[in-house]
Structure 1
Amino acid sequence: MWATTVLLLLLPQLVSSTTEGTTGHLNQSDTVSEELSDSPVKDQKAFRQTKGHDACSIPCDITVKLLRDEKHSICGQLQQSLLAFGRSTRKLIRDVMEEQQRGLDVLSGQVSELMSKVQMLSSEVQRSNTEMYSMKPVQSHGRDCSDIKDSLMSVVPKIPSGIYIIHPEETDSSFEVFCEMDYMEGGWTVMQRRTDGLNDFKRSWADYIDGFGNLAGEHWLGLKKVFHIVNQKDARFQLHIALVSNNDVTSYASYDDFRLDNETQFFRIHLGRYAGSAGDAFRGYEQEQNQDTAPFSAADVDNDGCNPSCSFANRTVESCSILHNHTGWWFNQCGLANLNGSPEDGEQNQGKRTRILWDTWRQSGVPYAIKSVTMKIRRLATNN
């Protein structure tokens, strides 16, 4: 390549030298002839010049042939270089693709292994769930809290209060209740408790049917559940109401032979004989105040007997539930008792009975302000 480049650079000079050399050769011959006798030194110089021109002169056809051969050689080398570059590039691309394929194969193997582990774990979980659900359901502790107490008395020296599972007779399922085992000889199934105001008793008919709240705290067990408990075969139940005033005075009201009618009768309440220190607010002082045998009412299911309205404390009342801040109870033209009563939101409203009400429990003629109440039921001994 270097020789070719030098040849291309010297080509114009070589062609010019060749043309001039042909003409100059004759002139120089004449000069040499004329000056041959002048000086030996001069003759030698002319001879060297003539010899140099002859040595450097290259004919045009030879030069063209050399250039053509050199061009063909360069083209051949360039083609070989391009072919070699193409081969190396294809090999590089092939190597890269093979490397990527090997990486994809490794990754695919890892994904397959992971999927296999996930499927195995899923199968384990499914089998565990199947085993769990195939297990027998938790057995109930008894038909009610009285039954639990009677069955445990012989094996446990002290039966603790708490949440137990009961399964009343002739019912399809078990459910949880709170049993008071340390109050008046125990065996009480709690059906309602008000203590701290954390649960809102402004509820719909459906909520009062099914129950709401926290069994260990404030709650309403539910009319359906209470119905199943108190309507068991050959069983009689007592209703006990324990009251605590704001200044920690305690009192109670008790009714034997407590029971409820079914849902088609709106869980009408039936009360036996009264006993206690808080007065018989359920029956009141007058017949129109008597709530015994009254159906249950809520804000959205009105069975209170005010049709279309009733008079109460010189006021016209269309709904006892709305008067008592949308709570549910066995209202009969409102009456003197509502242990589900709830205060109005915000400030108290004068003239409206919106709190827990047991009107017959009084001090100096004024009803006690009640801060907590518990309604509980227990089996009565049957006469054999």
Structure 2
Amino acid sequence: MLHQNRNLRKWFLDFLFLLLTFHWSYCKAVKADQASRLLHRAQKISESLRKGNLRNWQLRNLQNCNYKQQMYANSIEFAENARKFVISAGFLKECTSIYASGSTSSGIYPIWLKERFQFTYVYCDMELVSTKKGWTTIQRRINGEVNFNRGWDDYVRGFGNPRGEFWLGLENIYRFSRQTTTVSEGFTSIITPDLGIDLEDWDGFSTFLQYEIYFFGSKKSNYYSTVFSLNGRGCFDGSPIYFGEFSTPDADNDDVDQSYCGEDMKSGWWIHRCLQSNLNAPYPKQTHPMKSNEIFYEGMFCQKNKDTALRYVSMTFYHTKA
């Protein structure tokens, strides 16, 4: 595996260099034959990286210089972020390590999902908590532009835009929960990340909560998750996500016999009796109180006098032993 990672790293860096070189040589009309040779070589490397989420359409776009400004901006951002996640034994696997490597600006970064042997792009929040830096964002709600009333398949795959409102996808979230491992006496153990929940209502009241993930299940268990235990206080000493499977409007996996919580709440969530929380529920209007059929977090009720609806929510992972 180490040898395979080294080869992949070498191909990846060669590919990145060729993209930048081809951009300048072709769009600046240096030598057509030189550009042609570079393109042919880059296409061959792209084939070797087919499993690494680098697509041939990116090469085709380079052949049209109408894309010059867009491609140049994208390549600069990609090159800067890519430079940070290459390490001696492979690729960085979460935002905590990216921050530790020296990349301290929030933004989109390529992450290596080791169990799927592929890259995915995530938003790394590097300013979320003053004492712990490098949080991998798995969900965000900011303005209601993205529809979260979706079926099971969408919630498994993910949807939205990492720069705005989005859901990373249950399968990716599951894989991210297994990125960090430790080996002791021949046994490999998963070190689950901490879960961060950032909340702000329309009155400007905000709070950040941190939990420990005990277990995050796979698709076979409908992404069953056990108790998230809060490292916290007061109204939030309970858990936003209790024992339960993930439910959506078209997949009833809740623990309520005579109710269909996913359908009633028009979203997907680890629903426990339709009451405790649902950060994927419909986005509320500014004038609404917080209620269980819109974005809802029970612990907010005892923090302030007004039951104001939530304006901003996000969920993030922090790998404490990355």
Same fold (TM over 0.5): yes
Does residue 1:372 correspond to 2:312, yes or no? Answer: yes
Match of 1:199 among 124, 139, 146: 146
Give the number of the structure whose residues are more often helix, by fraction. Answer: 1
1:361 maps onto 2:300 in alignment? yes
1:3-42 to 2 correspondence within 5 Å? none
* Mapped partners of 2:193, 2:106: distance in 1: 19
Residue 335 of structure 1 corresponds to 275
Structure 2 match to 1:132: 43
Per the TM alignment, residue 272 of structure 1 is displaced from its structure 2 partner at its CA by 4.0
* Structure possessing the higher relative contact order (Cα contacts under 8 Å, 6 or more residues apart): 2
More strand by share: 2
- Show the 5 A alignment for 1:50-69: none
Q: Deviations over 1:79-104 (max 9, x none)?
A: xxxxxxxxxxxxxxxxxxxxxxxxxx
The aligned counterpart of 1:250 is 206
What's the CA shift for 1:130?
Answer: 6.6
- Contact 2:113/2:120 (<8 A) preserved: no
Counterpart residue type for residue 132 of structure 1: Q
Measured after TM superposition, the shift of residue 330 of structure 1 is 0.2
Matched residue of 1:209: which SS?
helix
SS in 1 for 2:235: coil
Indicate the residue corresponding to 1:302 in structure 2: 252
Once residues 259 and 163 of structure 1 are traced to their aligned partners in structure 2, the CA distance between those partners, rounded to angstroms, is: 27
Q: Which amino acid counterpart does residue 131 of structure 1 have in structure 2?
A: A
Matched residue of 2:173: which SS? helix
Give the structure 2 partner of residue 147 of structure 1.
97
Alignment of 1:166-245 (within 5 A): 166-184=111-129, 185-232=132-179, 233-234=181-182, 235-245=191-201
Shift of residue 305 of structure 1?
1.6
Task: Name the residue aligned to 2:58.
Answer: none
What SS is found at the alignment partner of 1:189?
A: strand
Instruction: In structure 1, give the amino acid aligned to 2:224.
Output: R
Question: C-alpha displacement at 1:355, in angstroms?
Answer: 1.3
- Relative to the length of structure 1, the TM-score reads 0.55
Structure 1 residues 351 and 379, CA, compared in 2 at 3 Å: closer, same or farther? Answer: closer
1:273 maps to amino acid: S
What is the distance in 1 between the residues matched to 2:157 and 2:106? 23
Deviation at 1:319, TM superposition (A): 0.9
2:213 match: secondary structure = coil
Letter in 1 for 2:160: G
Q: CA deviation at 1:253?
A: 2.2
User: Is the 1:281–1:337 contact (alpha carbons within 8 Å) kept by the matching residues of 2?
Assistant: no
Q: Contact 2:143–2:283 at 8 Å: present in 1 too? A: no
How far apart are the structure 1 equivalents of 2:252 and 2:122? 28
Higher Cα Rg, which structure: 1
Report the AA paired with residue 194 of structure 1. Answer: R
CA drift at 1:302: 0.6
Q: Within 1, Cα distance between the matches of 2:219 and 2:172?
A: 11
Distance 1:351 1:248 in 2: 14
**4+ residue runs over 6 A deviation:** 124-127
Residue 170 of structure 1: CA displacement? 2.6
How has the CA–CA distance of structure 1 residues 302 and 189 changed in structure 2, closer, same or farther, with 3 Å as cutoff?
A: same
Cα separation, 1, equivalents of 2:44 and 2:234: 49
Deviation by residue 1:96-152 (Cα, 9 ceiling, x = unmatched): xxxxxxxxxxxxxxxxxxxxxxxxx9xx989936732524646692111112122x1
How far apart are 1:336 and its partner, in Å? 1.4
Size of the alignment, in residue pairs? 237
How far did residue 274 of structure 1 move? 0.7
Would the aligned equivalents of 1:190 and 1:374 in 2 still touch at CA under 8 Å?
A: yes
The verdict on how the C-alpha distance between 1:352 and 1:146 changes in structure 2, with shifts beyond 3 A counting, is closer
1:293 and 2:233 aligned: no
TM-score (norm 2): 0.65
Percent of residue pairs bearing the same amino acid type: 25
Give the gaps of 5 or more residues in structure 2: 1-31, 55-81, 86-91, 183-190
Instruction: Indicate the SS of the match to 1:269.
Output: coil
**Amino acid in the other structure paired with 1:190:** T
Query: Which residue matches 1:69?
Result: none
Query: Cα distance 1:183–1:130, how it changes in 2: closer, same or farther (>3 A)?
Result: same
Output the CA distance in 1 between the equivalents of 2:109 and 2:306: 39
What residue is the counterpart of 1:319 in the other structure?
Answer: 260
Residue pair 1:282, 1:336 contacting (<8 A) in 2 also = no
Aligned to 1:269: 225
Distance 1:126 1:344, change over 3 A: farther
Instruction: Check conservation: 2:158, 2:170, Cα contact below 8 A.
Output: yes
Look up the match of 1:110: none
In 2 relative to 1, CA 343–164 (structure 1 residues): closer, same or farther, beyond 3 Å?
closer
Mark the CA change 1:169 to 1:279 in structure 2 (over 3 Å): closer, same or farther.
farther
